[in-house]
Structure 1
Amino acid sequence: MKKTVATKILFLRHAPIRDAGRLHGRSDADADCTTVTPQSGFTLAGQGIDHIVTSPARRCVQTVHALWPEGLQSDAAKLGISTDPRLWEQDFGDWEGRPHTALPDLGPMPGDTLARHAPPNGESFMDVCARVRPALAGMVAGHGGQTLFVCAHAGSIRAALAVALGLSGGQALKFQIAPLSLTVLTHFEDDLWAAAQVGAQGLTVSGIS
């Protein structure tokens, strides 16, 4: 019997932003990594991680280096790391950096309409899905049969869920992806996907063998 090739992707949303009172999408901001410990990194590495991918955002890179502070050294071997700009958070355009209290009230809006809405000079959630799709395909093509750890944003993780599970933008926006929560997707042959967990707290992994 032919053995099924499974590629596992562990998505972690970065640690909380220090300037939490403002909207940060494409704008860079520091992460508060005080609750991130190397022990969590060792626990994650114990899942057999073969490679690390991160959004170029400073908050994501800082989170990764808080997990693996000594040159990304695991118990087994030194982990490779790469950055992918397609994993950036949604670009909120003219709303970037504004206090949350100063953001416009869009009023009642169906989920799919909201997913297509773009702030002035920004991008919509569907735009995020469009750029995450090839990033996800590239991970599978380049690391088939491996386990990847990806540090990204709430928006790009929701986009990965939409792409992998065939969800509408409105459906994907309903997922709660808190800072330092873990979402696990597994890709099988024939482009089949499964979600082992979504937005789980505590950096624990279920559905991983």
Structure 2
Amino acid sequence: MRLKLLRHAPPVTGGRLAGRRDVDADCSDSTVCARMRHMIGDPGQVICSPAQRCLQTAAALGLDIAGTNPAIWEQDYGDWEGLRYEDLPDLGDLSPEQIAAHRPEGGESFDDMTARVLPELQALTDDTLIVAHAGTVRAALSLVVGPAALSFSISPLSLTIMRNTGSGWAVEAVNLTAEAGCSP
């Protein structure tokens, strides 16, 4: 089973952390959207986060959504939601395991999010495209590398591809973008 994970197009946040805030996506570059749609190829079934930015991205790429799943929504950053990026706390001295366990006040940790997301991904039996968030992609990558998945850069409108081998998960590609002209 092949799992493709597409992060939504650039969120319109005014330089602020979106997390669970329902913000729009900038899907205005039709050339990049067309390239990404070509890169995706046959998506299999398409499951989308219910976030507006994900639904807009799926529509801009002409994807036929089989359904939405609230379990694959982005991490809830609690009191950090809506903060300017430069005002977010610096967690740089923490290990990946400590960062994964860190829970912002009123929110959830990466570990909490993976506990919500991973059962949904592991239950898939058919080739699937998930249209979701950077956190969702990192949660999927944690199936292979654990909390070190937090070190991956996941660009807006990027594609990550994994395969369930039957005895575990393998990563085929991470953070493929249409601007780079890559194809899986």
TM-score (norm 2): 0.90
**SS of alignment partner, residue 16 of structure 1:** coil
Matched residue, 1:29: 23
**Percent pairwise identity:** 41
For residues 20 and 200 of structure 1, the distance between their equivalents in structure 2, rounded to whole angstroms, comes to 25
Deviation at 1:48, TM superposition (A): 2.4
Which sections of structure 2, spanning at least 5 residues, go unmatched?
Answer: none
Which sections of structure 1, spanning at least 5 residues, go unmatched?
Answer: 1-6, 73-78
**SS of alignment partner, residue 48 of structure 1:** coil
For residues 195 and 82 of structure 1, the distance between their equivalents in structure 2, rounded to whole angstroms, comes to 25
- Note closer, same or farther for the CA distance 1:57–1:183 as it changes in structure 2 (3 Å cut): same
Runs of 4+ in 1 over 2 A off after TM superposition: 36-42, 47-50, 101-107
Matched residue, 2:4: 10
For residues 134 and 107 of structure 1, the distance between their equivalents in structure 2, rounded to whole angstroms, comes to 29
For residues 44 and 88 of structure 1, the distance between their equivalents in structure 2, rounded to whole angstroms, comes to 23
Matched residue, 2:38: 43
Matched residue, 2:150: 173
Q: What count of residue pairs does the alignment treat as equivalent? A: 181
Does structure 2 retain, via aligned residues, the 8 Å contact 1:23–1:100?
yes
Matched residue, 1:76: none
Deviation at 1:193, TM superposition (A): 1.6
One of 42, 47, 58 as aligned partner of 1:53:
47
Instruction: Work out which of the two has the higher radius of gyration on C-alpha atoms and give 1 or 2.
Output: 1
Matched residue, 1:198: 174
Q: Deviations over 1:46-72 (max 9, x none)?
A: x3222111111110010000000xxx4
Q: Deviations over 1:103-150 (max 9, x none)?
A: 23345211211111010010001111111111102223xx2xxx2111
TM-score (norm 1): 0.79
